[in-house]
């Protein structure tokens, strides 16, 4: 077991960073061949959770720059997972929404896609699940700030 020093802020920051980097790798590698990528999945999940929005709003949500989101949306549109509707008021913008296919993918295939994580979490003792619930809130605050 790693002898991790987490009593100081610096030690905790280091250990936390390492664990997040490794978990991120693990999550990326979880991808099935014909499925969407982790980044695409994140965008779809956000659309599913928060509803239709402009590309700019989606980029802000995901904490990526607009050109990065453009690429993600292009890929999703090519696969018919999203629909884009012109904003009637401001013609520079468009409203991105999940298509029927995209909604189905989020609710079904996505669950399979993250089966690994879901199973792992299910197998944890309840106190550990509570730790992760709390951690989600703390991490969200860190990322937003």
Partner DNA sequence: TATTGTTATACTCTATAACTATA
Partner DNA sequence: TATAGTTATAGAGTATAACAATA
What is the DSSP code (8-state) at residue 89? S
Residue 83 CB-density burial (10 A; 0-12 exposed, 13-18 middle, 19+ buried)? middle
* Interface region with DNA, contact rule CB under 7 A, candidates 1-9, 20-28, 98-106, 118-126: 20-28
Cβ distance 80 to 41 under 8 Å?
no
Q: Is 78 in the site for DNA (CB under 7 A)?
A: no
* Interacting partner of 16 out of its own copies, DNA, none (Cβ under 5 to 8 A depending on kind): its own copies
* Interacting partner of 45 out of DNA, its own copies, none (Cβ under 5 to 8 A depending on kind): its own copies
CA-based end-to-end distance of the chain: 33
Q: Is 57 in the site for its own copies (CB under 8 A)?
A: no
| Residues contacting residue 98 through CB under 8 Å, at least 6 positions apart | 44, 47, 48, 52, 81, 82, 83, 106
* Interface region with its own copies, contact rule CB under 8 A, candidates 51-59, 87-95, 96-104, 133-141: 133-141
- Which residues contribute to the site for DNA (CB under 7 A)? 21, 24-25, 28-29, 37-40, 54-57, 63-74, 89-94
């Amino acid at each position: 077991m790693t002898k991790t020093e987490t009593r100081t802020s610096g030690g905790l920051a280091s250990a936390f960073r390492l664990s997040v980097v490794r978990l991120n790798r693990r999550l990326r590698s979880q991808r099935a061949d014909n499925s969407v990528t982790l980044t695409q999945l994140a965008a779809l999940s956000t659309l599913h959770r928060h509803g239709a929005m402009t590309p700019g709003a989606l980029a802000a949500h995901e904490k990526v720059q607009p050109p990065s989101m453009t690429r993600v949306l292009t890929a999703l549109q090519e696969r018919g997972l999203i629909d884009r509707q012109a904003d009637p008021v401001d013609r520079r913008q468009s409203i991105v929404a999940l298509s029927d296919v995209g909604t189905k993918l989020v609710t079904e295939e996505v669950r399979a896609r993250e089966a690994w994580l879901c199973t792992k979490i299910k197998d944890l003792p309840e106190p550990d699940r509570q730790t992760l619930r709390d951690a989600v809130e703390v991490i969200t605050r860190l990322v937003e700030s």
